Structure 1
Amino acid sequence: MIAINGYLLWSGLSAILVGIITSYFYIYWPIQCLLFSVLTLLFMFFWYRWLRYYTISQKSNKLLNQRHKQLVGLHFILHSSLENGQGHIRIADSIWPIKANHNLPVGTPVIITNVEGIILIVQPKYRNN
């Protein structure tokens, strides 16, 4: 979207500049068209270079707005036991469904290892032998 708007912006600016130039100097219309084309190409070249530099210099955050993927690797303590390997955990202001390979008692430290849909896959942080 920004590239399309940039094209319209710079071709409009080229038209304004050609209009200002022709108001001071009489220029034949083929020369005006050529001047408009050259100015548009020049502006677009510099716009493309700036846009490419700007997008490369910005850090892309691939996990933005993917809260469930941001949770992978975090450690929590269970406040409710897991029955049949399933339960819920409260993280900040949300309650997430969790799943483990086996039942876990209350107070077990767990780590989130994966996400399946909206279900967080957890493993006990320390296994009791």
Structure 2
Amino acid sequence: MMGFLQHLGFWDWLGLGIILLILEVFGAGGYLLWIGIAAAFTGVIAFLIPGLDWIWQFLMFGVLSILTALYWWNRQRSARRPSDTPGLNRRGSELLGRQFALHEAIVGGRGKIRVGDSVWLVGGPDLPAGTQVRVIGQDGVLLLVEPL
């Protein structure tokens, strides 16, 4: 083992980097990507500085792994900014505060309203069909309404 470490070359680092990048393709979630890049960088530096001791190579690999992971963490953290479309993928949230006539009476806490060409299930107090209601909330696909 010690003989292998003492003769560690740039091909070994490039091979490790390629193996880690291949494993990343199978779904590691980005973790092996940056370690694989650090291994490839270590291989490039070992090529540029022949005769670099294996201890320095491992130290360089560790530092590069930490730096690339911190880079990715910072980049992911800065990407989490508030959305300019907060209702995206929350179908029905655009109906909050709007008024509609009941399409079907609310009986037992359930009824329906017509919005454009679709019909929505609503929940609220029992009311006859045709009553004007306002959407005050949403519980999954159920719109919560109150009479005007």
State the TM-score, normalized to the length of structure 1.
Answer: 0.69
Aligned counterpart, 2:77 = 52
Does the CA contact (< 8 Å) of 1:90 and 1:96 recur in 2?
yes
Aligned counterpart, 2:119 = 95
Identity of aligned residues (%): 32
Q: What code does the residue aligned with 2:61 have? A: F
* Alpha-carbon distance change, 9 to 117 in structure 1, aligned in 2, over 3 angstroms: closer
Does the CA contact (< 8 Å) of 1:81 and 1:103 recur in 2?
no
Aligned counterpart, 2:133 = 110
Aligned residue for 1:77, secondary structure, equals strand
- Structure 1: unaligned runs, 5 residues or longer: none
* Alpha-carbon distance change, 27 to 49 in structure 1, aligned in 2, over 3 angstroms: same
Q: What code does the residue aligned with 2:105 have? A: L
State the TM-score, normalized to the length of structure 2.
Answer: 0.62
- Structure 2: unaligned runs, 5 residues or longer: 1-27
Aligned counterpart, 1:19 = 43
Higher relative contact order (CA 8 A, sep 6+): 1
- How many Å separate the matches in 1 of 2:111 and 2:36? 59
Q: What code does the residue aligned with 2:71 have? A: F
Q: For residues 61-88 of structure 1, what are the alpha-carbon distances to aligned partners after superposition, in whole Å with 9 as ceiling and x for unaligned?
A: 665433245533222233x352646532
- How many Å separate the matches in 2 of 1:69 and 1:105? 23
CA RMSD in angstroms, aligned pairs only: 2.8
Q: CA deviation at 1:117?
A: 5.5
Does the CA contact (< 8 Å) of 2:93 and 2:138 recur in 1?
yes
Q: CA deviation at 1:9?
A: 1.6
Q: For residues 25-74 of structure 1, what are the alpha-carbon distances to aligned partners after superposition, in whole Å with 9 as ceiling and x for unaligned?
A: 2211111111100111111222222221221x342866543324553322
* Alpha-carbon distance change, 119 to 19 in structure 1, aligned in 2, over 3 angstroms: closer
Question: How many residue pairs are counted as aligned between the two chains?
Answer: 119
- How many Å separate the matches in 1 of 2:145 and 2:117? 19
Q: What code does the residue aligned with 1:119 have? A: L
Aligned counterpart, 2:4 = none
Q: What code does the residue aligned with 2:47 have? A: S
Aligned counterpart for 1:35 among listed residues 35, 60, 72: 60
* Alpha-carbon distance change, 94 to 33 in structure 1, aligned in 2, over 3 angstroms: same
Aligned residue for 1:21, secondary structure, equals helix
- How many Å separate the matches in 2 of 1:117 and 1:51? 29
